[in-house]
Amino acid sequence: MEKKILIVEDEKDIARMLEYNLKKEGYRVAAVHDGAAAPALAAKELPGLILLDLMLPGLDGLEVCRRVKTDPRTAAIPIIMLTAKGEESDKLVGLGVGADDYITKPFSVKELLARVKAVLRRAVPAAEVREVYRAGNLELDCARVLALVKGKPADLTAREFELLKALMAAGGKVLSRETLLERAWAMDAAMEIETRTVDVHIGTLRKKIGAEGRRIVTVKNYGYRFEPENK
């Protein structure tokens, strides 16, 4: 069945343009023009992806993103932020609250559709094989998309979960930022996603898994590795 995409955009001309082009690609589309209504609609519709404008009436896009990502019903839904703001600080804030990607207006329809496809490709469930990784007090259950620290769920975004999975699955090998982008974002260099994005997510991931965050080791000028053994 085709994926449903929820558009949260107050500029109706842009929303209609997005809806038209997404439907041409075979997606089902729902749209809302007010931020305050977006979290409840996301929980009701359970779309495969949300296109979320930053500047919205009711609730701004950052608050909508926070609410979607902290609701267990919607936390795994990937979010692409759409905004006229292009400053680095705005981008990092958006990624820091759980957005999976960030596109600055004006953007080309071709670029948007490519990013939508890439994010949805990453979100497709893997083969239904139960994979569990353990290290110290940390347990990652890939089948249930659940991270536990001392037996208690860690509040990870979908992107943070995928990063942790990639690192733990590497068995102590160093992964470059480019490799982590490919594995956790399902995007290659052609998508022009900044490697700084990885650093931002690694920082929040370390905080969320507490003392076990020390296992994510920075390898200068290259990337990161996960230390599976207790020191």
Of the candidates 99, 60, 61, the one whose C-alpha atom is nearest the C-alpha of residue 80 is 99
Q: Count the alpha carbons within 13 Å of 157 in the hemisphere toward its beta carbon.
A: 29
- The CATH superfamily label for domain 4-123 reads Response regulator (3.40.50.2300)
Please state, as a whole number, how many other Cβ atoms lie within 10 Å of the Cβ of residue 152.
Answer: 9
Coil vs helix vs strand at 213:
helix
Question: What amino acid is encoded at 55 in this protein?
Answer: M
% of the chain surpassing 70 pLDDT: 86
% of the chain surpassing 90 pLDDT: 48
The predicted-structure confidence for 201-226, as pLDDT tens digits, reads as follows 999 999 999 999 999 999 988 899 99
Q: What is the mean pLDDT of the chain?
A: 84
How many Å apart are CA 231 and CA 217, to the nearest integer? 13
How many Å apart are CA 82 and CA 80, to the nearest integer? 7
The boundaries of every CATH 1.10.10.10 domain in the chain are 132-226
B/e letters for 100-112, b = 16+ CB within 10 Å, e = fewer, are bbbbeeeeeeeeb
CATH (residue range 132-226): 1.10.10.10
pLDDT-based confidence at residue 124 (cuts at 50, 70, 90): low
Q: What is the pTM of this model?
A: 0.56
pLDDT-based confidence at residue 189 (cuts at 50, 70, 90): very low
More confident residue, 130 or 117: 117
The boundaries of every CATH 3.40.50.2300 domain in the chain are 4-123
